Amino acid sequence: MNEAVVQVRGLRTQFGSHVVHDGLDLDLNRGEILGVVGGSGTGKSVLLRAIVGLDAVRAGTIDVLGNRIGTLSGPDRRALEQRWGVMFQDGALFSSLTVRENVEVPLRAVPGLTNAQCRGLAELKIGMAGLPWKANDDMPADLSGGMRKRAGLARALALDPEILFLDEPTAGLDPIGASAFDRLIVTLRNALNLSVFLVTHDLDTLHACCDRVAVLAERRVLTTGTMAQMLDVDDPWVHEYFHGPRARAVTGKD
Protein backbone atom coordinates (compact mmCIF):
# COMPACT_ATOMS: atom_id res chain seq x y z
CA MET A 1 0.00 0.00 0.00
CA ASN A 2 1.31 3.46 -0.92
CA GLU A 3 2.19 5.80 1.94
CA ALA A 4 0.95 9.35 1.36
CA VAL A 5 3.49 11.92 2.55
CA VAL A 6 1.13 14.71 1.44
CA GLN A 7 -2.61 14.27 1.73
CA VAL A 8 -5.02 17.01 0.67
CA ARG A 9 -8.75 16.60 1.32
CA GLY A 10 -11.63 18.94 0.43
CA LEU A 11 -9.34 21.90 -0.19
CA ARG A 12 -10.86 25.29 -0.90
CA THR A 13 -8.65 28.27 -1.68
CA GLN A 14 -10.06 31.68 -2.44
CA PHE A 15 -8.82 35.22 -3.03
CA GLY A 16 -11.62 37.68 -2.43
CA SER A 17 -14.56 36.41 -4.45
CA HIS A 18 -12.33 34.35 -6.77
CA VAL A 19 -12.40 30.66 -5.88
CA VAL A 20 -9.30 28.81 -7.10
CA HIS A 21 -9.89 25.33 -5.67
CA ASP A 22 -13.06 23.80 -4.27
CA GLY A 23 -13.26 20.25 -2.95
CA LEU A 24 -9.77 19.34 -4.17
CA ASP A 25 -8.31 15.97 -3.12
CA LEU A 26 -4.73 14.87 -3.84
CA ASP A 27 -2.04 12.52 -2.52
CA LEU A 28 1.72 12.54 -3.00
CA ASN A 29 3.11 9.09 -2.25
CA ARG A 30 6.48 8.42 -0.67
CA GLY A 31 9.26 8.09 -3.22
CA GLU A 32 7.26 9.18 -6.26
CA ILE A 33 7.55 12.11 -8.61
CA LEU A 34 4.07 13.58 -9.07
CA GLY A 35 3.59 15.99 -11.98
CA VAL A 36 0.84 18.59 -11.49
CA VAL A 37 -0.53 20.07 -14.70
CA GLY A 38 -3.49 22.14 -15.77
CA GLY A 39 -4.53 25.05 -17.91
CA SER A 40 -3.64 28.64 -17.13
CA GLY A 41 -5.40 29.84 -13.99
CA THR A 42 -6.14 26.41 -12.54
CA GLY A 43 -4.06 27.14 -9.46
CA LYS A 44 -1.07 24.83 -9.77
CA SER A 45 1.31 27.16 -7.95
CA VAL A 46 -1.41 28.17 -5.49
CA LEU A 47 -1.83 24.51 -4.57
CA LEU A 48 1.90 24.18 -3.92
CA ARG A 49 1.92 27.32 -1.79
CA ALA A 50 -1.12 26.12 0.18
CA ILE A 51 0.54 22.79 0.95
CA VAL A 52 3.64 24.48 2.38
CA GLY A 53 1.53 26.96 4.31
CA LEU A 54 2.27 30.12 2.35
CA ASP A 55 -1.34 30.63 1.19
CA ALA A 56 -4.26 30.36 3.60
CA VAL A 57 -7.03 27.88 2.87
CA ARG A 58 -10.75 28.48 3.37
CA ALA A 59 -11.75 24.86 3.93
CA GLY A 60 -10.36 21.34 3.87
CA THR A 61 -7.27 19.76 5.36
CA ILE A 62 -3.63 19.35 4.34
CA ASP A 63 -1.44 16.77 6.06
CA VAL A 64 2.29 16.65 5.37
CA LEU A 65 4.38 13.85 6.86
CA GLY A 66 1.60 13.18 9.34
CA ASN A 67 1.28 16.82 10.46
CA ARG A 68 -1.80 18.99 9.89
CA ILE A 69 -0.82 22.23 8.13
CA GLY A 70 -2.30 25.26 9.86
CA THR A 71 -2.26 23.75 13.35
CA LEU A 72 1.48 23.93 14.04
CA SER A 73 3.38 26.92 15.35
CA GLY A 74 6.77 27.79 16.76
CA PRO A 75 9.33 24.98 17.01
CA ASP A 76 6.92 22.31 15.66
CA ARG A 77 6.26 24.34 12.53
CA ARG A 78 9.96 25.03 11.98
CA ALA A 79 10.79 21.35 12.49
CA LEU A 80 8.30 20.36 9.79
CA GLU A 81 9.58 23.01 7.38
CA GLN A 82 13.06 21.51 7.68
CA ARG A 83 11.70 18.25 6.26
CA TRP A 84 10.79 19.78 2.89
CA GLY A 85 12.54 21.96 0.33
CA VAL A 86 10.93 24.37 -2.12
CA MET A 87 12.31 25.59 -5.43
CA PHE A 88 10.29 28.52 -6.73
CA GLN A 89 10.20 29.70 -10.34
CA ASP A 90 13.54 31.18 -11.48
CA GLY A 91 15.15 30.13 -8.20
CA ALA A 92 13.87 33.10 -6.11
CA LEU A 93 17.41 33.84 -4.92
CA PHE A 94 18.46 36.74 -2.72
CA SER A 95 20.08 39.11 -5.20
CA SER A 96 22.56 40.57 -2.68
CA LEU A 97 23.99 37.17 -1.66
CA THR A 98 26.35 34.86 -3.51
CA VAL A 99 25.14 31.42 -4.54
CA ARG A 100 26.89 29.86 -1.55
CA GLU A 101 25.41 32.43 0.82
CA ASN A 102 21.94 31.77 -0.62
CA VAL A 103 22.27 28.06 0.06
CA GLU A 104 23.63 28.77 3.55
CA VAL A 105 20.47 30.70 4.52
CA PRO A 106 18.41 27.66 5.70
CA LEU A 107 21.53 26.09 7.21
CA ARG A 108 22.09 29.13 9.43
CA ALA A 109 18.85 28.31 11.24
CA VAL A 110 20.14 24.89 12.35
CA PRO A 111 21.49 25.06 15.93
CA GLY A 112 25.07 23.95 16.44
CA LEU A 113 26.33 24.30 12.87
CA THR A 114 29.56 26.27 12.63
CA ASN A 115 30.30 28.73 9.83
CA ALA A 116 32.73 26.23 8.32
CA GLN A 117 30.13 23.46 8.41
CA CYS A 118 27.50 25.69 6.79
CA ARG A 119 29.97 26.61 4.07
CA GLY A 120 30.95 22.99 3.43
CA LEU A 121 27.37 21.76 3.32
CA ALA A 122 26.35 24.59 0.99
CA GLU A 123 29.18 23.77 -1.39
CA LEU A 124 28.17 20.10 -1.34
CA LYS A 125 24.55 20.92 -2.25
CA ILE A 126 25.68 23.29 -5.01
CA GLY A 127 27.73 20.48 -6.50
CA MET A 128 24.81 18.06 -6.19
CA ALA A 129 22.67 20.51 -8.16
CA GLY A 130 25.17 20.32 -11.03
CA LEU A 131 26.78 23.73 -10.74
CA PRO A 132 30.53 24.21 -11.28
CA TRP A 133 32.79 25.11 -8.34
CA LYS A 134 33.21 28.73 -9.46
CA ALA A 135 29.46 29.27 -9.09
CA ASN A 136 29.83 29.26 -5.30
CA ASP A 137 31.02 32.87 -5.33
CA ASP A 138 28.86 34.11 -8.22
CA MET A 139 26.03 36.57 -7.69
CA PRO A 140 22.58 35.61 -9.01
CA ALA A 141 22.76 38.39 -11.61
CA ASP A 142 25.85 36.73 -13.09
CA LEU A 143 24.08 33.40 -13.67
CA SER A 144 22.11 32.13 -16.64
CA GLY A 145 18.47 31.18 -16.11
CA GLY A 146 19.34 27.51 -15.91
CA MET A 147 22.10 28.13 -13.38
CA ARG A 148 19.76 30.22 -11.20
CA LYS A 149 17.31 27.32 -11.18
CA ARG A 150 20.07 24.93 -10.12
CA ALA A 151 21.12 27.34 -7.37
CA GLY A 152 17.51 27.43 -6.19
CA LEU A 153 17.47 23.64 -6.25
CA ALA A 154 20.67 23.53 -4.18
CA ARG A 155 19.03 25.75 -1.56
CA ALA A 156 15.94 23.51 -1.55
CA LEU A 157 18.22 20.54 -0.86
CA ALA A 158 20.18 22.29 1.89
CA LEU A 159 18.50 20.56 4.85
CA ASP A 160 18.31 17.05 3.33
CA PRO A 161 14.53 17.20 2.86
CA GLU A 162 12.18 14.26 2.53
CA ILE A 163 9.90 16.14 0.12
CA LEU A 164 10.93 18.43 -2.72
CA PHE A 165 8.46 20.96 -4.12
CA LEU A 166 9.40 22.24 -7.59
CA ASP A 167 7.49 25.05 -9.32
CA GLU A 168 8.03 25.02 -13.10
CA PRO A 169 11.66 23.86 -12.84
CA THR A 170 12.29 23.74 -16.59
CA ALA A 171 10.28 26.80 -17.68
CA GLY A 172 12.35 29.07 -19.89
CA LEU A 173 15.17 26.58 -20.40
CA ASP A 174 16.40 25.49 -23.81
CA PRO A 175 15.64 21.83 -24.71
CA ILE A 176 19.13 20.60 -23.82
CA GLY A 177 19.13 22.40 -20.47
CA ALA A 178 15.61 21.22 -19.68
CA SER A 179 16.49 17.62 -20.49
CA ALA A 180 19.55 17.79 -18.24
CA PHE A 181 17.41 19.19 -15.41
CA ASP A 182 14.87 16.39 -15.88
CA ARG A 183 17.63 13.78 -15.54
CA LEU A 184 18.96 15.55 -12.45
CA ILE A 185 15.55 15.42 -10.74
CA VAL A 186 15.27 11.68 -11.32
CA THR A 187 18.86 11.08 -10.18
CA LEU A 188 18.32 13.05 -6.97
CA ARG A 189 15.00 11.30 -6.26
CA ASN A 190 16.65 7.92 -6.63
CA ALA A 191 19.80 8.81 -4.68
CA LEU A 192 18.12 10.66 -1.81
CA ASN A 193 14.79 8.78 -1.67
CA LEU A 194 12.89 12.00 -2.23
CA SER A 195 9.19 12.46 -2.81
CA VAL A 196 8.75 15.17 -5.45
CA PHE A 197 5.75 17.46 -6.07
CA LEU A 198 6.45 18.97 -9.49
CA VAL A 199 4.35 21.74 -11.01
CA THR A 200 4.97 21.90 -14.75
CA HIS A 201 3.49 22.47 -18.16
CA ASP A 202 6.36 20.71 -19.92
CA LEU A 203 5.33 17.45 -21.59
CA ASP A 204 8.96 16.40 -21.93
CA THR A 205 9.38 16.70 -18.16
CA LEU A 206 6.22 14.68 -17.51
CA HIS A 207 7.43 11.96 -19.84
CA ALA A 208 10.99 11.90 -18.50
CA CYS A 209 10.36 12.26 -14.77
CA CYS A 210 6.90 11.58 -13.48
CA ASP A 211 5.53 8.39 -12.01
CA ARG A 212 2.03 9.87 -11.90
CA VAL A 213 0.31 12.97 -13.24
CA ALA A 214 -2.46 15.00 -11.56
CA VAL A 215 -4.58 17.22 -13.81
CA LEU A 216 -6.17 20.33 -12.28
CA ALA A 217 -9.42 21.50 -13.87
CA GLU A 218 -12.77 22.80 -12.71
CA ARG A 219 -11.24 23.87 -9.35
CA ARG A 220 -10.24 20.34 -8.40
CA VAL A 221 -8.08 17.40 -9.40
CA LEU A 222 -9.87 16.09 -12.45
CA THR A 223 -7.85 12.89 -12.71
CA THR A 224 -4.60 11.24 -11.66
CA GLY A 225 -2.66 8.41 -13.24
CA THR A 226 0.37 7.44 -15.25
CA MET A 227 1.20 9.06 -18.56
CA ALA A 228 -0.20 5.99 -20.31
CA GLN A 229 -3.45 6.28 -18.37
CA MET A 230 -3.80 9.95 -19.33
CA LEU A 231 -4.25 8.86 -22.94
CA ASP A 232 -7.58 7.23 -22.05
CA VAL A 233 -9.10 10.10 -20.05
CA ASP A 234 -12.37 11.28 -21.63
CA ASP A 235 -12.02 15.03 -21.16
CA PRO A 236 -11.50 17.59 -23.96
CA TRP A 237 -8.60 19.46 -22.32
CA VAL A 238 -6.83 16.30 -21.18
CA HIS A 239 -7.29 14.73 -24.61
CA GLU A 240 -5.88 17.75 -26.43
CA TYR A 241 -2.97 18.08 -23.99
CA PHE A 242 -1.90 14.44 -24.12
CA HIS A 243 -2.82 13.73 -27.76
CA GLY A 244 -1.89 17.04 -29.41
CA PRO A 245 1.05 17.65 -31.76
CA ARG A 246 3.49 18.42 -28.95
CA ALA A 247 2.48 15.26 -27.08
CA ARG A 248 2.99 13.18 -30.23
CA ALA A 249 6.45 14.71 -30.65
CA VAL A 250 7.37 13.66 -27.11
CA THR A 251 6.00 10.12 -27.25
CA GLY A 252 6.69 9.43 -30.93
CA LYS A 253 3.11 8.19 -31.32
CA ASP A 254 0.63 9.33 -33.93
> What pLDDT is stored for residue 185 in this prediction?
97
List the domain boundaries for the chain. Answer: 4-83+165-251, 98-160
Q: What is the pLDDT confidence band of residue 247, given thresholds at 50, 70 and 90?
A: low
Over range 177-202, report the average pLDDT: 96
Class of domain 4-83+165-251: alpha beta
**Which has the closest alpha carbon to 148: 122, 175, 170?**
170
Q: Whole-angstrom Cα distance, residue 40 to residue 14?
A: 16
Q: Using 50, 70 and 90 to split pLDDT, how confident is the model at 243?
A: confident
Read off the pLDDT of each residue in 222-230 and give the average, rounded to a whole number.
Answer: 94
The residues, ordered by sequence, that sit 6+ positions from 20 with a Cβ below 8 Å of its Cβ are: 13, 14, 43, 46, 219
pLDDT, the chain, mean: 92
Q: What is the pLDDT of residues 125-142, one digit of tens each?
A: 999 999 999 999 999 999
Beta-bridge partners for 163:
84, 195
Confidence of residue 38 (pLDDT cuts 50, 70, 90): very high
Closest CA to 86 of 121, 123, 54, 113: 54
Q: What is the pTM of this model?
A: 0.93
Model confidence at 73, in pLDDT bands (50, 70, 90)?
confident
Tell me, letter by letter, the H, E, C secondary structure of the chain. Answer: CCCEEEEEEEEEEEECCEEEEEEEEEEEECCCEEEEEECCCCCHHHHHHHHCCCCCCCEEEEEECCEECCCCCHHHHHHHHCCEEEECHHHCCCCCCCHHHHHHHHHHCCCCCCHHHHHHHHHHHHHHCCCCHHHHHCCHHHCCHHHHHHHHHHHHCCCCCCEEEEECCCCCCCHHHHHHHHHHHHHHHHHHCCEEEEECCCHHHHHHHCCEEEEEECCEEEEEECHHHHCCCCCHHHHHHHHCHHHHHHHCCC
